[in-house]
Structure 1
Amino acid sequence: MDILLMIKTILLGIVEGITEWLPISSTGHLILADEFIKLNMSDAFMEMFNVVIQLGAIMAVVVLYFHKLNPFSPKKNRREKGDTIILWMKVILAVLPAAVIGIPLDDWLDEHFYNPPVVAAMLIIYGILFIVVENRNRRSRRRPMDDLDRLSYPMALAIGAFQVLSLIPGTSRSGATILGGILIGCSRTVAAEFSFFLGIPVMFGASLLKIVKFGFQFTSVEVIVLLTGMIVSFLVSIIAIKFLLGYIKKNDFKAFGVYRIILGILVIAYFAFLK
């Protein structure tokens, strides 16, 4: 196993673990990182790797929220178990829009949108939207809904509709769903947590789809690269999730909006003048 290949894989795992949960687009960052951190694997493997590596990040949510997400926990009473089942029903409902639209269009989206110019445009557009929405919230006198149990089925479906936007790389799945949650009246914490939970079935489904398309004939090097990336992204994601939840208790998302705009401009400049 090439040591340099392992180092590059670890770096990509770190990128994924940080960017999956911060609203700055993990897939977009992985596409951009591939310009500088070449694994020199096949295009088919890299297309699959950039999605399946996110399973490691998703497992961080499962571990951190295992009690909250487990409807069979012996530590919960009957009402709490019922509330957990209802939460999962809302998550499943919210998954439907992206599944109905994303699965049939998967190949078309890969062909037309997985490129740096699209990523740069989405980084800038949604960076501006985060700043606009947070400025609007600052002027609003309406108190946001800050209890996840009060999230209604229509609200869950609306957040799921926003998730469809993240099918375009550079948008950010967490960014689109958090932005949608805030727009319909959720607090930042509720929007972020529901976005975390929504990512579980979405990324398991997307990863299964990519693995089936790639086929199950992995070389030993491909297996090591994929598992290494997933493990690193899992460990880094635990840190990133805790950071984000602590950060949004005292701060808004405008800093992430500014970061997206700056990164988008740098990407445009790089591919226009240096590439």
Structure 2
Amino acid sequence: MDIILALKAIIMGLVEGFTEFLPISSTGHLILAGSLINFTGEVAQVFEIAIQAGAILAVMWEYRARIGAVLGGITSDPRQQKLVVNLIVAFLPAAVLGFLFSKAIKAHLFAPVPVALAFIVGAFVILWAERRHKVLPGAHRVQTVDDMTVVDAFKVGCAQCFALIPGTSRSGATIIGGMLFGLSRTAATEFSFFLAIPTLLAATVYSVFKARHDLHASDLPLFLIGGVAAFISAFLCVRWLLRFISTHDFTGFAWYRIVFGVVVLITAHFGWVVWAE
């Protein structure tokens, strides 16, 4: 592996880590970055999903105390059992729909206009959710992750299904969906982090398994470099986001999404980026 390829892996890992947990769609940013640095192809597609493992590890490290408590109390502590059940319930809707319709989604929605529309429509949903959050302060009845019911978890899981649409953002769908369904901004964000663990892990394992015949031992260093870069950047991003939401809302991300949606349309129109897998 030459130094240029290693640098490309680092860039892609940084993009993954810095965008995975923000409501701005890591997929869209990875496509744009991959096109700009000429990091494309079958192996690159698997790489983009596999390096999510680095982002998963960053969340697991940030919440290592709670994860340890869950593992230690899963057979005896009702609080930990409740979180596990909620995560399973929230994970299933998108997992089932993704398994059934992933091919159709890739065939029909991975195009410039649907991606751009997902960015822009998602932005207006964020603006609406934030306005609703301010004018109806009593609407956020769930203050912490531990206050969530199974019904709350299922609703967030249904919201995550919208992330199957390229450009929507898994984090955006779960966080904003959670806020619309009555979760506080902090509870919605933390539950989105926890839900990312089974969701991204399943996507990573499934993608690598499907592409196992196209991968070689020589690809391992590339994946490791990208994974480490994703871990470091995701860890920094998660730490920053937790501080950010204590004093800010997501309005800025909404305007960023609108700008990015316009970027998608412009780059596709002039042929600068091939918005397809």
Q: Offset at 1:228?
A: 1.1
Q: What residue ranges of structure 2 are gaps of 5+ in the alignment?
A: 273-277
Give the CA deviation at 1:73: 6.4
For the pair 1:259 / 2:256, whether they are aligned, the reply is yes
2:12 touches 2:48 (CA, 8 Å); kept in 1?
Answer: no
Q: Please tell me whether residue 132 in structure 1 is matched to residue 128 in structure 2.
A: yes
Is 1:147 matched with 2:147? Answer: no
For 1:113-157, what per-residue CA distance to the aligned partner results, in whole angstroms no more than 9, with x for missing partners?
Answer: 334433222111101110111112211141522121110100000
3-state DSSP of counterpart to 1:63: helix
Superposed, 1:264-275 pairs within 5 Å as 264-273=261-270, 275=272
Taking only aligned residues, the RMSD between alpha carbons, in angstroms, comes to: 1.9
Q: Are 1:30 and 2:53 an aligned pair? A: no
Hey, what does 2:223 align to over in structure 1?
A: 226
Please tell me whether residue 195 in structure 1 is matched to residue 212 in structure 2.
no
2:210 counterpart (210, 213, 218) = 213
In 2, distance between residues paired with 1:260 and 1:69?
32
TM-score by length of structure 1 reads 0.92
1:216 CA drift (Å): 5.0
Write out per-residue CA displacement over residues 17-51 of structure 1, whole angstroms, 9 at most, x where no aligned residue: 010011101111111212202125xx322222221
CA distance in 1, matches of 2:195, 2:177: 13
CA distance in 2, matches of 1:202, 1:149: 20
1:53 & 1:34 partners in 2: Cα distance? 14
Cα distance between partner residues in 1 of 2:8 and 2:60:
26
Q: Of the candidates 41, 56, 59, which is equivalent to residue 58 of structure 1?
A: 56
In 2, Cα distance between equivalents of 1:77 and 1:48: 33
**Runs (5+) with no aligned partner, structure 1:** none
Q: Percent of pairs identical after alignment? A: 37
Give the conservation status (yes or no) of the 8 Å contact 1:32–1:116: no
How many equivalent pairs are there? 271
Cα deviation 1:38-86 (Å, max 9, x = unaligned): 125xx32222222111111011111110111224667x7997x431121
